[in-house]
Chains A and B, each alone.
Chain A
Amino acid sequence: MTIFNFDAFVNYLFNSFLLGGVGVTIGLTVAAVIGGLCLGMIIALMRMSGKPLLAFPARFYIWFFRGTPLLIQLVVIYAGLPLFGVKLSVLQSALLGLILNEASYMAEIVRTGFLAVPKGQTEAGWSLNLSRRTIFWRVTLPQAFRLMVPPLGNSINGLLKATSLASVISVEEIMRRSDLLMQEQFQVLEVYAAATIYYLILTSLWDLVQARLERRFGRSVNATTASTTSLSFLRR
């Protein structure tokens, strides 16, 4: 065996089977972000509602899903739910697990964002006779969202890589397909180096999206707030 077969590495880099896994990873991430954000928003609003009947289940949810490993959650959903008559496909199980898990983190990010919007903003809305709905959608949410972008970016970056755990229940994303290719020729380093490159490309692309989002929602704020993504060093 040679030390590192560069040609094999390049072959894996352009391997269509592995590229297909990239699509699955992106799909899982995007779906989990959207689902997690929606569910997380609801849980955050429940927790901030001031009504114990809503706040307590929200706290419990966050405590449970942030307090247990995603790996266990995925396995329990895939192997455990059928015992209760709920049979989900591998992909459905992975998606459900990722959404449930991500929502617990998103809920805390959403909550932090809303808490950081000054009370005077809501009071101004009241004084202008705005409806509760308008105050939420037009006044507090946009301001909270600007504050949520950097931590959300962090969470989404983590999620991109956490999708690799779905390989354990045999979802064919980047990691699982790397495993399968590796077992053909046992070129461990070459395959995983290719997978590494894919993950780096994906997280870098996300960094660019995040920087755009920060600029878009920070328009009104003085240009003193520097971009916080890890790629910002490239623009200097």
Chain B
Amino acid sequence: MYRNNNQGPKRGVALYSYSAEFGFEKTLEDCFEDIHDMGATGVEILANTHIENYPYPTDEWVNYWFSLCDKYQVEPVEYGHWIDCRVLQDRLLSTEEAVARLEQDLRLAHRLGFKVLRTKMSVVDDALNPVENWREIIRGALPLAERLGLTMCPEIHIPTNLKSQMIIDFSVFRHKFDEGEFVDPHFVPNEPEDIIPLIPYIYCCHAKFIHMNDDFEETTIPYKEVLMALRDNGYNGYLLSEYEGADKYDQGYEVGQTLRKHHIMMKNILGY
């Protein structure tokens, strides 16, 4: 299977960006060809959205998936999925039930050639704290993840600051940061260099963007500084373009053109 073994940050696309068009203007193959057009080599899928007959795809579909990866020289980079602990409306799932469902996703991610998962935890309150047993759930699935060579990653998403308590909490399985090394400035923007100490623990980046102008500049995020910080400090993973603008749902909107602008920008900054 195609793998991009180049050093440095690599360009890819999160299929979430196509949410408004997928299944209408765009098939899965159209998305892959679009990615190939951009010179990008990696893809993130959302399991519940992009896998036909999820969570039980047929072998024919899995073969089709690999045929697309081969044809368009795109590698499976990140398997986006959820642990829906509130899937039943009258009670939370038990740890054992949640582990079994998580293991089902691990097996499926492995079957599709992924090595990294964005594992979205269920939350129980308005502060977005995860379910109380989240550590037990992750720990319960670690032996299988290890056996299959998979890494589960939490998504650090706005408004979480890169220096916040949540980073300490999520780091327990890899690295223990010193208490006091972090403050908790929710809703305070980070400086680009704040990402540098975290780079050894980053397996994948959503390269989110809100607004690209016609000069191929993102007008809300200091992209050049962030990408330089990643490149100059040894990040070898993917930057998966994820377009957040709600206008992608407007009649006639073509997110593929917006993604191309983003890739022109990243290509110009990275030089490839």
Q: Do A and B bind?
A: no
